Amino acid sequence: MTERISVEWPDPRPFAGRDGRPIRILAVSDEEDPALSSAATRERLAPIDLIVGCGDLRPEFLGFLADAFCVPLVYVRGNHDIGEAWSPSALQRLGAPLPMIDGALHLEHGLPIIGFGGSPTYSGGPQEVSDLVMWARALRAWWSAAGRATLLVTHAAPKGINDAPDLAHRGFPAFRWLAERLHPPLWLHGHVRLTRRDRASRSAHAHGTLFYNTSGATLVELAPPARVS
């Protein structure tokens, strides 16, 4: 089942020329939602403006969604996104874009997006990232955002927010630091297994940010800021 959330976006600039329409994002991670293989389901979700991947999904599935909805795709890789399927040549054959550069600012529909792939280190895998490296990437992101309302897209969660106590699923301290300084309206992540699928189990609020676990699929509506009469 595809979940739905709506977030008021404080910056009016991404909505220029949209006649008040929200930006509609299909956010996915970790588990392929079988309902999305149905054309009827996709028709009910439409229109979609952007596919956002938060990691641990096959590139073929991400490419399928982008093709099915005929929209851009932005994504980060998860700790299990390894192997030849993720090589630049394999992605090119699929017609899929490369993942977002960690900590760099990406603009889509005028919406600033910053992404971080990977998980904390626990077994020495190639998509595991040390705290020291992630601190360097977070500093780059802080500089890149330059005070703008920015959508954060990560695989792992911030430390102490929507993460888990085990070594593999703990959050990054650098993400917590970044959230306390950027105050992004929305932070999408995956990686942490959900035992319940309700919104309360997926969500946390801190530092003026909604942190949301996208495992499966979620339709995210970014609404333009309310007008003051």
Residue 215 lies in a domain: yes
- In single-letter form, the type of residue at position 45 comes to L
- The CATH code of the domain that includes 201 is 3.60.21.10
Instruction: State which residues form the domain around 204.
Output: 43-80+98-220
In a domain, 35, yes or no: no
Q: Domain total for the chain?
A: 1
Radius of gyration of the chain (CA): 17
CA 214 vs. chain centroid, Å, equals 8
pLDDT in tens, the chain (229 residues): 689 999 999 999 999 999 999 999 999 999 999 999 999 999 999 999 999 999 999 999 999 999 999 999 999 999 999 999 999 999 999 999 999 999 999 999 999 999 999 999 999 999 999 999 999 999 999 999 988 999 999 999 999 999 999 999 999 999 999 999 999 999 999 999 876 666 777 999 998 999 999 999 999 999 999 864 3
Asked whether residue 68 is domain-assigned, the answer is yes
Q: Cα–Cα distances in Å, from 225 out to 13, 52, 151? A: 10, 22, 15
Is 71 part of any domain?
Answer: yes
> The whole model's pTM is what?
0.96
Q: Are 158 and 191 in contact (CB under 8 A)?
A: no
